[in-house]
Homo-oligomer: A and B are copies of this chain.
């Protein structure tokens, strides 16, 4: 829609790069300082933009950090390699837990922010919770079948356990992934183990 050769509005090209620069600066500062100590002032300075430019795009620190996290997840997690069996819940959870190990500090603070801010709660649900639920639900459906109530309860149980352990500082390791997966025994894997 914009013409990159136009010089009519000199602020534009820089403004178009501001979004990605702000997201990159947010990720760098989160890695370096952790959620609590990152401020929008720090992020704007690191990205080389004014705070106004930042607040034109994101109306709060949690909203910006949620976007940086969602963007980060798309770049970092390669769900396709090595391939997992379609109903390999344990393998799926091992990967999810590993990703949470890298972003857990940020995730717990975003969930905390969502408790006193209803608008942010909706945003968190839409951007982070729902897409992850859909991915887990697909794995579970291949494992236990399509009963909607059973699927909804299993998704809540497994992601609930993840958040509960994260927020209580308890381990999210491969052993716990296996223990959780065994709560939801696969019909297909049992059948395929038979001769």
Contact = CB atoms under 8 A, between A and B. Distances in A.
A176 B157 CA distance: 11
A83 B165 CA distance: 31
B168 A161 contact: no
Contacts of A135: none
Contacts of A156: 160-161, 164-165, 170, 176, 180
A4 to B, nearest CB: 42
A27 interface: no
A115 B121 contact: no
Q: Tell me if A's interface is mostly helix, strand, loop or mixed.
A: helix
A183 B153 contact: yes
Given A150-B179, A153-B183, A121 B168 contact: yes
A182 B153 contact: yes
Q: Which of A113, A160, A180 has the most CB of B within 10 A?
A: A160
Interface string A174-189: 0110011011100000
A179 B149 contact: yes
Contacts of A168: 121, 125, 129
Interface of A: 36, 108-109, 111-116, 121, 125, 129, 149-150, 152-154, 156-165, 167-170, 175-176, 179-180, 182-184
